[in-house]
Chains A and B, each alone.
Chain A
Amino acid sequence: MPAIPGATTTPAPAQASPPATPQPPAKPTLNLVVLDPGHGGTDSGARGDNGGIEKDIVLVFARAAKIMLEQQGFQVVATRQGDEDPSFDDRAAIANAQHDAVVVTFHVATTGQANTARTYYYEFQSSSAATPVAGIVGLGPNSSPAAASALPILPPVAATSTVGKLVPWEEAQLRYVSASRKFADLVQAEIARSFPGSPGLSVAAPERDLRSVEAPAIAVEISSVDSATTQQLDAMSGSMGAAIARAAVAYRAVYEPGDK
Protein backbone atom coordinates (compact mmCIF):
# COMPACT_ATOMS: atom_id res chain seq x y z
CA MET A 1 0.00 0.00 0.00
CA PRO A 2 1.40 3.44 -0.95
CA ALA A 3 1.96 5.93 1.79
CA ILE A 4 -0.50 8.84 1.99
CA PRO A 5 1.30 12.15 2.30
CA GLY A 6 0.56 13.86 5.54
CA ALA A 7 -1.05 10.84 6.98
CA THR A 8 0.18 9.60 10.24
CA THR A 9 2.03 6.39 10.01
CA THR A 10 0.78 3.70 12.24
CA PRO A 11 2.83 0.97 13.75
CA ALA A 12 3.04 -2.18 11.77
CA PRO A 13 0.33 -4.62 12.54
CA ALA A 14 1.13 -7.14 15.22
CA GLN A 15 1.34 -10.01 12.80
CA ALA A 16 4.21 -8.36 11.04
CA SER A 17 6.65 -9.04 13.91
CA PRO A 18 7.02 -12.08 16.12
CA PRO A 19 5.15 -11.85 19.41
CA ALA A 20 7.20 -11.09 22.44
CA THR A 21 7.81 -14.42 24.25
CA PRO A 22 7.72 -14.30 28.04
CA GLN A 23 11.09 -15.02 29.59
CA PRO A 24 11.14 -18.33 31.47
CA PRO A 25 11.59 -17.90 35.20
CA ALA A 26 15.17 -18.18 36.31
CA LYS A 27 16.01 -21.74 37.24
CA PRO A 28 16.44 -22.06 40.99
CA THR A 29 19.99 -22.81 41.82
CA LEU A 30 21.82 -24.16 44.79
CA ASN A 31 22.86 -21.25 46.89
CA LEU A 32 22.65 -22.38 50.47
CA VAL A 33 24.39 -25.01 52.57
CA VAL A 34 23.10 -26.09 55.96
CA LEU A 35 25.94 -27.24 58.20
CA ASP A 36 25.00 -29.54 61.05
CA PRO A 37 27.68 -30.23 63.64
CA GLY A 38 26.52 -33.45 65.33
CA HIS A 39 25.90 -33.88 69.06
CA GLY A 40 26.37 -30.94 71.46
CA GLY A 41 25.26 -29.98 74.94
CA THR A 42 25.00 -32.98 77.22
CA ASP A 43 25.55 -35.28 74.25
CA SER A 44 29.32 -35.16 73.87
CA GLY A 45 29.50 -37.86 71.23
CA ALA A 46 32.72 -39.81 70.98
CA ARG A 47 35.61 -39.11 73.34
CA GLY A 48 39.18 -39.76 72.34
CA ASP A 49 42.07 -41.01 74.42
CA ASN A 50 43.84 -37.75 73.68
CA GLY A 51 41.09 -35.62 75.12
CA GLY A 52 39.22 -34.90 71.91
CA ILE A 53 35.46 -34.56 72.25
CA GLU A 54 33.35 -35.09 69.17
CA LYS A 55 30.89 -32.27 69.83
CA ASP A 56 33.74 -29.74 69.94
CA ILE A 57 35.71 -31.14 67.01
CA VAL A 58 32.72 -31.10 64.66
CA LEU A 59 32.10 -27.47 65.53
CA VAL A 60 35.63 -26.65 64.37
CA PHE A 61 35.01 -28.52 61.10
CA ALA A 62 31.71 -26.75 60.55
CA ARG A 63 33.27 -23.31 61.11
CA ALA A 64 36.06 -24.07 58.66
CA ALA A 65 33.57 -25.32 56.07
CA LYS A 66 31.46 -22.18 56.53
CA ILE A 67 34.41 -19.95 55.66
CA MET A 68 35.27 -21.98 52.55
CA LEU A 69 31.66 -22.17 51.38
CA GLU A 70 31.10 -18.45 51.81
CA GLN A 71 34.21 -17.80 49.74
CA GLN A 72 32.50 -19.75 46.97
CA GLY A 73 29.40 -17.60 47.21
CA PHE A 74 27.18 -19.88 49.26
CA GLN A 75 25.01 -18.76 52.10
CA VAL A 76 25.52 -20.91 55.16
CA VAL A 77 23.11 -21.78 57.94
CA ALA A 78 24.22 -23.80 60.96
CA THR A 79 22.00 -25.97 63.11
CA ARG A 80 24.03 -24.97 66.14
CA GLN A 81 26.63 -22.30 66.79
CA GLY A 82 27.81 -23.35 70.21
CA ASP A 83 27.36 -26.05 72.79
CA GLU A 84 23.67 -26.70 72.21
CA ASP A 85 22.06 -30.04 71.45
CA PRO A 86 19.15 -29.65 69.06
CA SER A 87 17.15 -32.83 68.59
CA PHE A 88 17.22 -34.71 65.30
CA ASP A 89 13.86 -33.14 64.48
CA ASP A 90 15.04 -29.64 65.40
CA ARG A 91 18.00 -30.01 63.07
CA ALA A 92 15.79 -31.31 60.27
CA ALA A 93 13.33 -28.45 60.83
CA ILE A 94 16.10 -25.88 60.42
CA ALA A 95 17.21 -27.57 57.20
CA ASN A 96 13.69 -27.98 55.85
CA ALA A 97 12.94 -24.29 56.35
CA GLN A 98 15.51 -23.44 53.65
CA HIS A 99 15.02 -23.46 49.90
CA ASP A 100 17.48 -24.75 47.34
CA ALA A 101 19.85 -26.01 49.97
CA VAL A 102 21.99 -29.02 50.70
CA VAL A 103 22.77 -30.34 54.18
CA VAL A 104 26.10 -31.53 55.51
CA THR A 105 26.23 -33.10 58.96
CA PHE A 106 29.57 -33.69 60.65
CA HIS A 107 30.64 -36.55 62.91
CA VAL A 108 33.91 -37.93 64.23
CA ALA A 109 34.38 -41.70 64.37
CA THR A 110 35.92 -43.77 67.13
CA THR A 111 37.30 -46.12 64.50
CA GLY A 112 39.01 -45.94 61.14
CA GLN A 113 42.39 -44.90 59.87
CA ALA A 114 43.50 -41.52 61.17
CA ASN A 115 43.22 -38.59 58.75
CA THR A 116 40.60 -40.23 56.59
CA ALA A 117 36.90 -39.53 56.23
CA ARG A 118 33.79 -41.16 54.87
CA THR A 119 30.67 -39.65 53.39
CA TYR A 120 27.27 -41.26 53.90
CA TYR A 121 23.83 -40.80 52.46
CA TYR A 122 20.65 -42.19 53.95
CA GLU A 123 19.65 -45.74 53.13
CA PHE A 124 15.97 -46.57 53.43
CA GLN A 125 15.01 -50.20 53.84
CA SER A 126 12.21 -51.40 51.59
CA SER A 127 10.23 -52.72 54.55
CA SER A 128 10.80 -49.73 56.79
CA ALA A 129 7.94 -47.44 57.55
CA ALA A 130 7.41 -44.25 59.39
CA THR A 131 5.50 -45.67 62.30
CA PRO A 132 5.47 -49.42 62.09
CA VAL A 133 6.87 -50.13 65.48
CA ALA A 134 4.20 -48.87 67.82
CA GLY A 135 2.94 -52.38 68.32
CA ILE A 136 6.18 -53.67 69.69
CA VAL A 137 7.29 -50.74 71.77
CA GLY A 138 7.26 -51.74 75.38
CA LEU A 139 8.12 -55.36 74.84
CA GLY A 140 9.95 -56.11 78.03
CA PRO A 141 13.01 -58.26 78.41
CA ASN A 142 10.96 -60.85 80.21
CA SER A 143 8.13 -60.87 77.73
CA SER A 144 7.24 -64.29 76.50
CA PRO A 145 7.40 -65.29 72.88
CA ALA A 146 3.66 -65.77 73.07
CA ALA A 147 3.27 -62.15 74.09
CA ALA A 148 5.41 -61.08 71.18
CA SER A 149 3.40 -63.23 68.81
CA ALA A 150 0.23 -61.65 70.08
CA LEU A 151 1.40 -58.25 68.95
CA PRO A 152 -0.36 -56.78 65.97
CA ILE A 153 1.24 -57.60 62.70
CA LEU A 154 1.83 -54.38 60.92
CA PRO A 155 1.90 -54.56 57.17
CA PRO A 156 5.08 -53.31 55.62
CA VAL A 157 4.49 -49.84 54.35
CA ALA A 158 5.99 -49.17 50.98
CA ALA A 159 8.75 -46.69 51.34
CA THR A 160 7.51 -45.06 48.16
CA SER A 161 4.32 -44.02 49.84
CA THR A 162 4.99 -40.33 49.56
CA VAL A 163 1.83 -39.39 47.75
CA GLY A 164 1.06 -35.94 46.45
CA LYS A 165 2.54 -33.11 48.44
CA LEU A 166 2.17 -34.67 51.85
CA VAL A 167 5.49 -36.07 52.90
CA PRO A 168 5.70 -38.09 56.11
CA TRP A 169 8.24 -36.42 58.33
CA GLU A 170 10.10 -39.70 58.88
CA GLU A 171 10.38 -40.27 55.14
CA ALA A 172 11.30 -36.76 54.09
CA GLN A 173 14.68 -37.86 52.77
CA LEU A 174 13.16 -40.56 50.60
CA ARG A 175 12.68 -38.30 47.55
CA TYR A 176 16.25 -37.07 47.79
CA VAL A 177 18.21 -40.28 48.16
CA SER A 178 19.48 -40.21 44.60
CA ALA A 179 20.41 -36.53 44.82
CA SER A 180 22.05 -37.10 48.18
CA ARG A 181 24.11 -39.93 46.76
CA LYS A 182 25.20 -37.74 43.85
CA PHE A 183 26.30 -35.01 46.25
CA ALA A 184 27.89 -37.54 48.61
CA ASP A 185 29.96 -39.05 45.80
CA LEU A 186 31.22 -35.61 44.79
CA VAL A 187 32.18 -34.82 48.38
CA GLN A 188 33.82 -38.20 48.87
CA ALA A 189 35.84 -37.81 45.67
CA GLU A 190 37.18 -34.50 46.95
CA ILE A 191 37.87 -36.01 50.36
CA ALA A 192 39.76 -38.92 48.78
CA ARG A 193 41.96 -36.40 46.96
CA SER A 194 42.67 -34.41 50.09
CA PHE A 195 42.94 -37.30 52.55
CA PRO A 196 44.68 -40.34 51.05
CA GLY A 197 43.36 -43.61 52.41
CA SER A 198 39.77 -42.42 52.32
CA PRO A 199 37.39 -44.46 50.15
CA GLY A 200 36.66 -43.21 46.67
CA LEU A 201 32.88 -43.53 46.92
CA SER A 202 30.26 -42.61 49.46
CA VAL A 203 28.42 -45.26 51.44
CA ALA A 204 24.74 -45.81 52.18
CA ALA A 205 23.84 -46.03 55.86
CA PRO A 206 20.74 -45.31 57.92
CA GLU A 207 22.26 -42.25 59.58
CA ARG A 208 19.54 -40.85 61.80
CA ASP A 209 20.41 -37.17 61.29
CA LEU A 210 19.50 -37.39 57.62
CA ARG A 211 16.17 -39.20 57.69
CA SER A 212 13.81 -36.25 58.03
CA VAL A 213 15.71 -33.80 55.87
CA GLU A 214 13.87 -32.75 52.74
CA ALA A 215 16.89 -31.82 50.68
CA PRO A 216 20.03 -33.49 49.43
CA ALA A 217 21.76 -34.42 52.68
CA ILE A 218 24.98 -36.16 53.59
CA ALA A 219 26.96 -37.06 56.68
CA VAL A 220 30.73 -36.70 56.77
CA GLU A 221 32.48 -38.80 59.41
CA ILE A 222 36.09 -37.99 60.17
CA SER A 223 38.49 -40.56 61.63
CA SER A 224 39.35 -40.81 64.31
CA VAL A 225 38.74 -39.33 67.69
CA ASP A 226 40.97 -42.00 69.25
CA SER A 227 43.96 -42.05 66.97
CA ALA A 228 44.65 -38.39 66.50
CA THR A 229 45.23 -35.46 68.74
CA THR A 230 42.71 -32.69 68.81
CA GLN A 231 45.28 -30.47 67.11
CA GLN A 232 45.66 -32.96 64.25
CA LEU A 233 41.92 -33.14 63.78
CA ASP A 234 41.64 -29.39 63.89
CA ALA A 235 44.36 -29.18 61.27
CA MET A 236 42.23 -31.36 58.98
CA SER A 237 39.34 -28.93 59.18
CA GLY A 238 40.67 -26.42 56.63
CA SER A 239 41.30 -29.06 53.96
CA MET A 240 37.98 -30.69 54.74
CA GLY A 241 36.16 -27.38 54.41
CA ALA A 242 37.86 -26.73 51.08
CA ALA A 243 36.97 -30.23 49.85
CA ILE A 244 33.33 -29.74 50.75
CA ALA A 245 33.25 -26.31 49.13
CA ARG A 246 34.73 -27.67 45.88
CA ALA A 247 32.18 -30.48 45.89
CA ALA A 248 29.34 -28.04 46.53
CA VAL A 249 30.45 -25.95 43.57
CA ALA A 250 30.53 -29.08 41.40
CA TYR A 251 27.13 -30.13 42.67
CA ARG A 252 25.68 -26.68 41.97
CA ALA A 253 26.39 -27.27 38.28
CA VAL A 254 24.22 -30.38 38.21
CA TYR A 255 21.72 -29.36 40.88
CA GLU A 256 18.07 -29.87 40.07
CA PRO A 257 15.52 -28.57 42.59
CA GLY A 258 13.67 -31.54 43.99
CA ASP A 259 16.23 -33.76 42.31
CA LYS A 260 15.06 -37.37 42.50
Chain B
Amino acid sequence: MSRNLKITLGILVGAVLLGLLSLHGLHQSVQRLAEGPASEEQARLAVVAPPISTPTDVNTTAHIFWRSTAALDRLDPVDISIPLSADTAVRARQLLHALIVSAPTEDQKTLPEDITVLGFYVLPDGTGIADFSDGLSSETPSGILSESLAVTSITKTLESNVSTLRRLKILIHGQEVDTLAGHVDLTGFFDMHPAPGASPPAPAASTPN
Protein backbone atom coordinates (compact mmCIF):
# COMPACT_ATOMS: atom_id res chain seq x y z
CA MET B 1 0.00 0.00 0.00
CA SER B 2 1.43 3.30 -1.05
CA ARG B 3 1.98 6.09 1.44
CA ASN B 4 -0.57 8.32 -0.29
CA LEU B 5 -3.21 5.63 -0.12
CA LYS B 6 -2.55 5.18 3.60
CA ILE B 7 -2.90 8.92 4.15
CA THR B 8 -6.14 9.01 2.15
CA LEU B 9 -7.56 6.06 4.08
CA GLY B 10 -6.55 7.70 7.34
CA ILE B 11 -8.32 10.92 6.34
CA LEU B 12 -11.41 8.98 5.32
CA VAL B 13 -11.49 7.05 8.61
CA GLY B 14 -11.10 10.34 10.48
CA ALA B 15 -13.93 11.90 8.48
CA VAL B 16 -16.19 8.94 9.21
CA LEU B 17 -15.42 9.19 12.93
CA LEU B 18 -16.09 12.92 12.87
CA GLY B 19 -19.35 12.29 11.02
CA LEU B 20 -20.44 9.74 13.62
CA LEU B 21 -19.64 12.15 16.44
CA SER B 22 -21.56 14.92 14.67
CA LEU B 23 -24.48 12.60 14.11
CA HIS B 24 -24.56 11.76 17.81
CA GLY B 25 -24.50 15.47 18.68
CA LEU B 26 -27.20 16.16 16.14
CA HIS B 27 -29.36 13.42 17.64
CA GLN B 28 -28.96 14.94 21.09
CA SER B 29 -29.86 18.37 19.72
CA VAL B 30 -33.01 16.99 18.14
CA GLN B 31 -33.96 15.39 21.44
CA ARG B 32 -33.39 18.67 23.26
CA LEU B 33 -35.53 20.49 20.69
CA ALA B 34 -38.31 17.97 21.12
CA GLU B 35 -38.31 18.64 24.83
CA GLY B 36 -37.92 22.34 24.20
CA PRO B 37 -41.43 23.78 24.27
CA ALA B 38 -42.19 22.69 27.83
CA SER B 39 -38.96 24.02 29.24
CA GLU B 40 -39.26 27.18 27.19
CA GLU B 41 -42.81 27.57 28.45
CA GLN B 42 -41.60 27.16 32.00
CA ALA B 43 -38.91 29.75 31.37
CA ARG B 44 -41.47 32.20 29.98
CA LEU B 45 -43.75 31.55 32.91
CA ALA B 46 -40.91 32.25 35.31
CA VAL B 47 -40.54 35.68 33.70
CA VAL B 48 -44.18 36.69 33.44
CA ALA B 49 -45.40 35.00 36.59
CA PRO B 50 -42.66 35.18 39.20
CA PRO B 51 -43.45 33.60 42.55
CA ILE B 52 -45.83 35.86 44.44
CA SER B 53 -44.67 36.58 47.96
CA THR B 54 -44.99 39.31 50.52
CA PRO B 55 -43.48 39.85 53.97
CA THR B 56 -46.79 38.85 55.53
CA ASP B 57 -46.82 35.41 53.92
CA VAL B 58 -47.62 32.59 56.32
CA ASN B 59 -47.74 28.93 55.46
CA THR B 60 -51.41 28.12 55.48
CA THR B 61 -53.54 25.11 54.66
CA ALA B 62 -55.58 26.17 51.66
CA HIS B 63 -58.59 24.35 50.23
CA ILE B 64 -58.12 24.20 46.49
CA PHE B 65 -60.92 22.88 44.30
CA TRP B 66 -59.82 20.52 41.56
CA ARG B 67 -61.67 17.82 39.66
CA SER B 68 -62.65 14.94 41.88
CA THR B 69 -60.70 11.73 41.42
CA ALA B 70 -63.95 9.81 41.90
CA ALA B 71 -65.90 11.65 39.20
CA LEU B 72 -64.20 14.01 36.82
CA ASP B 73 -67.39 15.99 36.33
CA ARG B 74 -67.29 17.17 39.93
CA LEU B 75 -64.96 19.25 42.09
CA ASP B 76 -63.51 18.27 45.43
CA PRO B 77 -61.41 20.40 47.79
CA VAL B 78 -57.82 19.35 48.29
CA ASP B 79 -55.85 20.72 51.25
CA ILE B 80 -52.37 21.97 50.44
CA SER B 81 -49.96 24.06 52.45
CA ILE B 82 -48.86 27.22 50.68
CA PRO B 83 -47.58 30.61 51.77
CA LEU B 84 -50.49 33.06 51.75
CA SER B 85 -50.36 36.80 52.19
CA ALA B 86 -52.52 38.83 54.57
CA ASP B 87 -53.27 41.19 51.67
CA THR B 88 -56.51 40.07 50.04
CA ALA B 89 -55.52 40.74 46.44
CA VAL B 90 -52.12 39.09 46.78
CA ARG B 91 -53.64 36.17 48.66
CA ALA B 92 -56.18 35.67 45.86
CA ARG B 93 -53.41 35.68 43.26
CA GLN B 94 -51.40 33.15 45.27
CA LEU B 95 -54.44 30.89 45.51
CA LEU B 96 -55.24 31.13 41.81
CA HIS B 97 -51.59 30.45 40.98
CA ALA B 98 -51.72 27.31 43.13
CA LEU B 99 -55.00 26.29 41.46
CA ILE B 100 -53.33 26.61 38.06
CA VAL B 101 -50.00 24.89 38.68
CA SER B 102 -50.36 22.59 41.70
CA ALA B 103 -53.03 20.08 40.68
CA PRO B 104 -52.18 16.67 42.15
CA THR B 105 -52.67 14.93 38.80
CA GLU B 106 -53.10 15.92 35.19
CA ASP B 107 -56.71 14.69 35.17
CA GLN B 108 -57.65 16.87 38.12
CA LYS B 109 -56.68 20.14 36.46
CA THR B 110 -59.49 22.55 35.78
CA LEU B 111 -57.41 25.32 34.21
CA PRO B 112 -54.71 25.28 31.53
CA GLU B 113 -51.29 25.10 33.16
CA ASP B 114 -49.61 27.86 31.20
CA ILE B 115 -52.09 30.63 31.94
CA THR B 116 -51.22 33.40 34.34
CA VAL B 117 -53.13 35.72 36.62
CA LEU B 118 -52.26 39.12 35.21
CA GLY B 119 -53.87 40.96 38.08
CA PHE B 120 -56.30 40.70 40.93
CA TYR B 121 -58.10 43.72 42.26
CA VAL B 122 -60.47 44.11 45.16
CA LEU B 123 -63.07 46.85 45.27
CA PRO B 124 -64.32 48.23 48.58
CA ASP B 125 -67.67 46.45 48.22
CA GLY B 126 -65.96 43.05 48.23
CA THR B 127 -65.97 42.62 44.46
CA GLY B 128 -62.90 40.75 43.27
CA ILE B 129 -61.69 41.24 39.71
CA ALA B 130 -59.49 38.45 38.39
CA ASP B 131 -57.65 39.21 35.18
CA PHE B 132 -56.31 36.13 33.39
CA SER B 133 -54.06 35.78 30.38
CA ASP B 134 -55.55 34.88 26.99
CA GLY B 135 -54.91 31.20 27.55
CA LEU B 136 -57.91 30.95 29.84
CA SER B 137 -60.10 31.49 26.81
CA SER B 138 -58.03 29.83 24.11
CA GLU B 139 -56.75 26.77 25.99
CA THR B 140 -59.61 25.77 28.27
CA PRO B 141 -61.32 22.79 26.62
CA SER B 142 -64.44 24.07 24.91
CA GLY B 143 -67.70 22.87 26.42
CA ILE B 144 -70.30 23.71 29.04
CA LEU B 145 -69.00 21.10 31.49
CA SER B 146 -65.31 21.96 31.24
CA GLU B 147 -65.94 25.70 31.31
CA SER B 148 -68.33 25.41 34.26
CA LEU B 149 -65.76 23.40 36.18
CA ALA B 150 -63.08 25.97 35.40
CA VAL B 151 -65.16 28.87 36.66
CA THR B 152 -66.49 27.00 39.68
CA SER B 153 -63.00 25.89 40.70
CA ILE B 154 -61.94 29.54 40.67
CA THR B 155 -64.90 30.83 42.66
CA LYS B 156 -64.94 27.95 45.16
CA THR B 157 -61.21 28.21 45.79
CA LEU B 158 -61.43 31.94 46.43
CA GLU B 159 -64.58 31.62 48.50
CA SER B 160 -63.01 28.99 50.73
CA ASN B 161 -59.85 30.93 51.42
CA VAL B 162 -60.64 34.64 51.12
CA SER B 163 -63.46 35.53 53.45
CA THR B 164 -63.86 39.15 52.39
CA LEU B 165 -64.79 38.54 48.76
CA ARG B 166 -68.48 38.80 47.94
CA ARG B 167 -68.50 38.34 44.19
CA LEU B 168 -66.07 37.83 41.36
CA LYS B 169 -65.68 39.27 37.91
CA ILE B 170 -63.47 37.40 35.46
CA LEU B 171 -61.62 39.36 32.80
CA ILE B 172 -59.35 38.07 30.08
CA HIS B 173 -56.35 40.23 29.29
CA GLY B 174 -58.05 43.20 30.90
CA GLN B 175 -61.23 42.92 28.87
CA GLU B 176 -64.71 41.69 29.56
CA VAL B 177 -65.54 38.77 27.30
CA ASP B 178 -68.87 37.20 26.40
CA THR B 179 -67.93 33.65 27.25
CA LEU B 180 -65.00 31.69 28.63
CA ALA B 181 -64.50 29.46 25.61
CA GLY B 182 -67.77 29.76 23.74
CA HIS B 183 -70.29 28.59 26.32
CA VAL B 184 -70.12 29.84 29.91
CA ASP B 185 -71.30 33.40 30.37
CA LEU B 186 -68.63 35.73 31.75
CA THR B 187 -70.56 38.96 31.33
CA GLY B 188 -71.85 38.96 34.89
CA PHE B 189 -70.51 38.42 38.38
CA PHE B 190 -70.14 35.16 40.24
CA ASP B 191 -71.45 35.04 43.79
CA MET B 192 -69.22 34.28 46.72
CA HIS B 193 -70.24 34.47 50.37
CA PRO B 194 -73.73 35.75 49.57
CA ALA B 195 -74.95 38.18 52.18
CA PRO B 196 -77.23 36.71 54.86
CA GLY B 197 -80.82 36.76 53.71
CA ALA B 198 -79.87 37.21 50.09
CA SER B 199 -81.28 34.41 48.07
CA PRO B 200 -80.49 33.82 44.45
CA PRO B 201 -83.42 34.42 42.16
CA ALA B 202 -83.34 30.93 40.84
CA PRO B 203 -82.48 27.77 42.67
CA ALA B 204 -79.33 26.11 41.44
CA ALA B 205 -80.13 22.50 41.98
CA SER B 206 -76.99 20.69 41.16
CA THR B 207 -74.13 22.83 40.07
CA PRO B 208 -71.02 20.85 39.22
CA ASN B 209 -69.06 21.08 42.42
Interface stretch (choices A29-37, A196-204, A231-239): A196-204
Q: How far is A221 from B144 in the complex, measured between Cα atoms in Å?
A: 7
B205 touching A174 by the CB < 8 A rule?
Answer: no
Least Cβ distance of B73 to chain A in Å?
Answer: 7
Does the CB pair B191–A110 fall under 8 Å?
A: no
Asked whether any CB of chain A lies closer than 8 Å to the CB of B14, the reply is no
B167 touches A156 (CB 8 A): yes
How far in angstroms is the closest Cβ of chain B from A179? 11
Verify B205–A111 contact, CB threshold 8 A: no
User: Which single residue of chain B is at the shortest CB-CB distance from A151?
Assistant: B123
Q: Is A160 part of the contact surface with B, judged by Cβ < 8 Å?
A: yes
Taking a contact as CB atoms under 8 Å apart, the answer to whether B176 and A118 are in contact is no
Given contacts A111-B143, A111-B146, contact A45 B187 (CB under 8 A): no
Q: What are 5 A-B residue pairs whose CB atoms fall within 8 Å in the complex?
A: A120-B144, A141-B131, A143-B174, A153-B125, A159-B202
Q: Which residue of A lies closest to B194 (CB)?
A: A126
Instruction: Tell which of A156, A158, A204, A207 touches B207, judged by Cβ atoms closer than 8 Å.
Output: A204
Are B141 and A111 in touch, CB under 8 angstroms? yes
Q: Which residues of B contact A209 (CB under 8 A)?
A: 183
Residues of B72-88 at the interface with A, using a CB-CB cut-off of 8 Å, are 72-73
Interface of B is mostly: loop
Are A126 and B198 within 8 A (Cβ)?
yes
Give me 5 other A-B pairs in contact (C-beta within 8 A), A124-B201, A205-B144 excluded. Answer: A133-B187, A138-B174, A181-B202, A208-B187, A221-B145
B167 touches A125 (CB 8 A): yes
Chain B residues within 8 Å of chain A by Cβ, number: 52
Q: Which residues of B contact A (CB under 8 A)?
A: 72-73, 89, 118-119, 121, 123-125, 127, 129, 131, 133, 141-146, 148, 151, 166-167, 169, 171, 173-176, 178-179, 182-185, 187-191, 194, 198-208
Q: Identify B142's interface contact among A110, A124, A149, CB under 8 A.
A: A110
Within 8 Å CB of B121, what residues of A? 139, 143, 145, 148-149
Set of chain B residues within 8 Å of A111, measured between Cβ atoms? 72-73, 141, 143, 145-146
Closest Cβ–Cβ distance, residue B65 to chain A (whole Å) = 16
Residues B123 and A149 in contact, CB atoms below 8 Å apart: yes
Q: Counting CB contacts under 8 A, is A100 at the interface?
A: no
- Bound CA–CA A155/B133 (angstroms): 27
Contact between A118 and B185, CB atoms less than 8 A apart: no
Question: Given the complex, which residues of B lie within 8 Å of A158, measured CB to CB?
Answer: 201
User: In the complex the two chains form, is A43's CB within 8 Å of B182's CB?
Assistant: yes
- Is B201 in contact with A143, judged by CB distance below 8 angstroms? no
Determine if A205 and B184 form an interchain contact, defined as CB atoms under 8 angstroms apart.
yes
Kindly report which residue of chain A lies nearest to residue B178, judged by CB atoms. Answer: A208
Chain B residues lying within 8 Å of A143, measured Cβ to Cβ, are 119, 121, 174
Q: Are A148 and B183 in contact (CB under 8 A)?
A: no
CB <8 Å contact, A219 and B189: no
Q: Determine if B142 and A140 form an interchain contact, defined as CB atoms under 8 angstroms apart.
A: no
B191 & A133 in contact (Cβ 8 Å cutoff)? no
Closest to B190 in A: A125
Please give, as numbers and ranges, the residues of chain B lying within 8 Å of A107 by CB-CB distance.
143-144, 183
Task: Tell me which of A133, A202, A221 contacts B205 (CB under 8 A).
Answer: A202
Please report the C-alpha to C-alpha distance between residue A126 and residue B201 in the assembled complex, in whole angstroms.
Answer: 6
* Min C-beta distance of A135 to chain B, whole Å: 10
Given A124-B201, A126-B199, A221-B143, the answer on whether A205 and B207 have CB atoms closer than 8 Å is yes
In the complex, how many angstroms separate the beta carbon of A52 from the nearest chain B beta carbon?
12
Q: With an 8 A cutoff between CB atoms, is A4 at the interface?
A: no
Q: Which of B119, B190, B207 has the most CB of A within 10 A?
A: B119
Instruction: Compute how far the CA of A9 lies from the CA of B200 in the bound complex, rounded to whole angstroms.
Output: 70
Decide yes or no whether A112 CB sits under 8 A from chain B.
Answer: yes
Which of B124, B174, B178, B185 is within 8 Å of A153, CB to CB? B124
**Minimum-distance CB pairs A-B, first 4:** A128-B188, A148-B121, A177-B202, A109-B143
- Which residues 93-128 of A sit at the B interface, judged by CB distance below 8 A? 107-112, 118, 120, 122-128
